[in-house]
Amino acid sequence: MKNILLIVSAFFLISCAGESNQTSSEEAVDSSATAAVPAEEPVFVEFDYPVDSNYGAMLVMANTMIYPDDFKNFDTKNVYALFKGAEGYYLDQVKVEGKVLQQEESEDETIQVVCEHKDSCIFFISGVNYLQKRKVESLDITDPILPAGRTIEFKLNGKTQKMVVNGIFRDGKETDNFNDMTSYRLMLFGEKDNTSVVDMLVAHDSFDDAAISLLFVGDIDGDGLLDYLLETSRKYSNSQPALYLSKPASSDRLLELIDVAGNAGGC
């Protein structure tokens, strides 16, 4: 999969790069001066990324249900959680347990990962050995939805990254309705070791009443660079948050996909 990403990313580095806009504050800036140009003859491609797979770590969103077999793979001895308190976001190592729930109109049991804590939890993550208890810098997100044609710049610690969303509109007219988009590609442009780098974060050929959106942008892993939590599902019935961290990324990547959170009951 990584080789495929490198090939696809190289292609989109040529086709997706836009003009840079500068920002002087550490915040997200929407710089969508022009939208993606609809093609005269839409090209439909069958390619979906990311997909729910075994990435080594395990991400579980707060207040969601997972299957018992998935909970068996959750390393409860090494769990960190992202919380939002009165003074902002922070990571804390927590003790968790699985609360057994019964699905409505079904005999199947599901598990909700819970912990005792005073603040609101965003997600739990296990199997990541480089996280530490710490305050987490975050960027404000005023408009989280990422339709085709949108460009946003993010700046943290003097380093800028640009998120560019390309796609083709089925009827040739620009729209925010994801059902009318195909060949959707969410790309992230930045620099690493004075070299331009581009990562593909999300790719879908079609949508079923779903939307790609930003859930969190900030420095989760403590390396001074931006990390991202995105809702990446193409289908309304199945939430699919994906966590991308910068610290474990290879020299030619800005981010590494850590895990895609599943949920019981989605289809």
Distance of CA 38 to the CA centre of its chain: 25
At which residue do the structure tokens 């009165």 appear? Answer: 86
CA-based torsion, 217, 220, 222, 223: positive or negative = negative
Report percent pLDDT > 70 for the chain: 80
Residue 27's contacts (CB-CB under 8 Å, 6 or more residues apart) are 139, 140, 154, 155
Question: How many other C-beta atoms can be found within 10 angstroms of the C-beta atom of residue 4?
Answer: 11
Is 60 exceeded by the pLDDT of residue 223?
yes
Query: Are 77 and 97 spatial neighbours (Cβ–Cβ below 8 Å)?
Result: no
Average pLDDT score over residue span 136-148: 97
pLDDT one-digit tens code per residue, 84-140 = 999 999 999 999 999 998 766 667 889 999 999 999 999 999 999 999 999 999 999
Name the residue among 126, 139, 144 with its Cα closest to residue 227: 139
DSSP 3-state of 78: coil
pLDDT one-digit tens code per residue, 29-53 = 665 443 444 444 444 446 799 987 7
224 conformational bin, left if phi > 0, alpha if psi -120 to 50, beta if neither: left
Residue 94's contacts (CB-CB under 8 Å, 6 or more residues apart) are 79, 80, 81, 115, 117, 124
Q: Which residue has the higher pLDDT, 55 or 130?
A: 130
Average pLDDT score over residue span 147-173: 96
